[in-house]
Amino acid sequence: MNRRVFIQGAGLITFLLSGCGLALQSSDAQTADQTSKGGDKMKITIITGSPHKNGTSALLADKFIEGSQKAGHEVFRFNAAFEDIHPCLGCDRCGMNGPCVHQDAIAKKLQPELIAADLVVFVTPLYYFGMSAQLKTVIDRFYASNVKLSGSGKKAILMATAYDDKDWTMSVLTQHYQTVVKYLGWEDIGTVLAVGCGSRPLIERSEFPEQAYQMGLKI
């Protein structure tokens, strides 16, 4: 069986990784649903997952970028739906720490920015209560950089839009996001969950674009 053990520095988080899955053994990684206040200039990588260039989640991304650039942060934006990307084949040729067999936009454009980022912002429309396939494709490809990304102390934000506005509409998406962030040993510093925002007029009338802007401004 292909089995490896990684010990992470600060939190001594032990990852047991096997050919059939990933397991986390730690309670050290904590997440907070608050934005951090002030601080140094950051390198931000924002990954969007909608096929709509001027859609609802794109507006959240635009507003967040507007705020964060005003605050002086450096932003790299990767629009997964408009890039040449391929899903992970699970071939394990990367060994979780090496070049991917796919030398596409994820490997060539996103990966260096991802590794260098202080903050990673995930932006997605809600698709069947989870993230879009475009965003999931990118996250699965973290596998080739897993060793570099794990325990790298990055901060993370999730922004999402959905038609429904039930109190459980975003629960599976946020749980998935928080689990990925915890596994990687990153810190969740906030979410913008734009429920009841299934179209551009709906989100433009809502408070969520301003929330995204303020989050970008205040990180």
Ligand X SMILES: Cc1cc2nc3c(=O)[nH]c(=O)nc-3n(C[C@H](O)[C@H](O)[C@H](O)COP(=O)(O)O)c2cc1C
Do residues 182 and 29 touch, judged by C-beta distance below 8 A?
Answer: yes
Output 50 or 152, the one with its CB closest to ligand X: 50
- If binding is defined by CB under 6 A, does position 207 make contact with ligand X? no
Residue 125 vs 151, nearer CB to ligand X: 125
Q: Closest distance between ligand X and the C-beta of residue 37, in Å?
A: 29
Strand arrangement, sheet containing 43-48: 74-79, 43-48, 119-125, 155-161, 187-194
Q: Residue 186 is encoded by which pair of tokens?
A: 């990153």
Contact region with ligand X (CB under 6 A), list: 15-23, 70-78, 119-127, 142-150: 119-127
Q: Any contact of residue 173 with ligand X (CB under 6 A)?
A: no
50 near ligand X (CB under 6 A): yes
Residue in the shown chain whose Cβ atom is closest to ligand X? 55
Near ligand X by CB under 6 A: residue from 100, 110, 125, 219: 125
Given a contact cutoff of 8 angstroms between Cβ atoms, the answer to whether 56 and 200 are in contact is yes
Q: Under the criterion CB under 6 A, does residue 168 sit at the interface with ligand X? A: no
Dihedral sign computed on CA atoms, order 192, 197, 199, 202? negative
How many whole angstroms separate alpha carbon 152 and alpha carbon 63? Answer: 27
3-state SS assignment for residue 113: helix
Judged by the rule CB under 6 A, the positions of this chain that interact with ligand X are 50, 52, 55-58, 125-129, 161-164, 169, 197-198
